[in-house]
Amino acid sequence: MTTEKKLTGKIARERIRLMETPRPPAGLIEGFKSLGDASGIVSDILDELGITGAVAATTLRPTIAGKCIVGPALTVRNIVQREHPYETAKAHVNKMAEFEAHNLALPGDVVVIDGVAGVSNMGGISAQTGKRQGEAGAIVHGGIRDISHSRSVDYPLWSSEVTPVTGKSRIETVEINGDIEIAGIRVSPGDIVLADDTGVCFIPRGRAEEVLALCLAKSQAEDRKVRIIVEGASVADLPTNA
């Protein structure tokens, strides 16, 4: 059932492509979560299927070590404002609207921002709002700030930059829940996001069940290989196809 959302007024309704992020099939998110910190396994399967979807943690760095999140993508696209930032700052103009994404978020969603470099696309108050909304976390291709704040409320982010420079007078949000591009990868609303210490994987929602089935099989094979190593098998006897 679709839940009606009251817009905050920061972004025109026509810029919101979908009022609700497409929901994954029952059990899909739980299945990916059961893999643990498995971006490596997911990346391998995406390779086997010819899907481009993995981004290294050197490009999108986690703010909280040891976190692993899985959820459907709620997408945001930001661009640079035309006006000079000092003029907009003096006039208190703020065209950022990731709070509208928080307003639309359902528990477990992952906010994914196609952002602006060199400035913050999400700060501490925004992160705390996302935590309050039940979001799993956020992926930001661009800058973020106030990471001690987001850490204190246990809201994990992965970002390409950390900066004190505000985006409020520099950024305009032009679309929510449309297709975006993150580090050269197309991400659509409802695509599955898996992020851990090693990197971030974007799994097209139409292929997610296929990807999960292959990931589960590969994970089981790797678990068997680990057991063999622990049991003391010689290196020559170790399986090489796991």
Amino acid at the residue 161 = E
pLDDT per residue as tens digits for the range 197-233: 999 999 999 999 999 999 999 999 887 878 878 877 7
Residue 17, pLDDT above cutoff 50: yes
pLDDT per residue as tens digits for the range 176-197: 999 999 999 999 999 999 999 9
pLDDT score recorded for residue 2: 41
Alpha helical stretches, state H, 160-207: none
pLDDT score recorded for residue 6: 56
pTM attached to this predicted model: 0.90
pLDDT score recorded for residue 87: 83
- 139-to-115, 128, 144, 182 alpha-carbon distances in Å: 10, 15, 10, 9
* pLDDT band of 12, cuts 50, 70, 90: low
Structure-block tokens of residue 62: 């986690």
Mean pLDDT of 94-113: 94
Q: Which of 87, 77, 88, 103 lies closest to 178, judged by CA?
A: 77
pLDDT per residue as tens digits for the range 44-65: 999 999 999 999 999 999 999 9
Domains in the chain, please, with CATH? 13-205 (3.50.30.40)
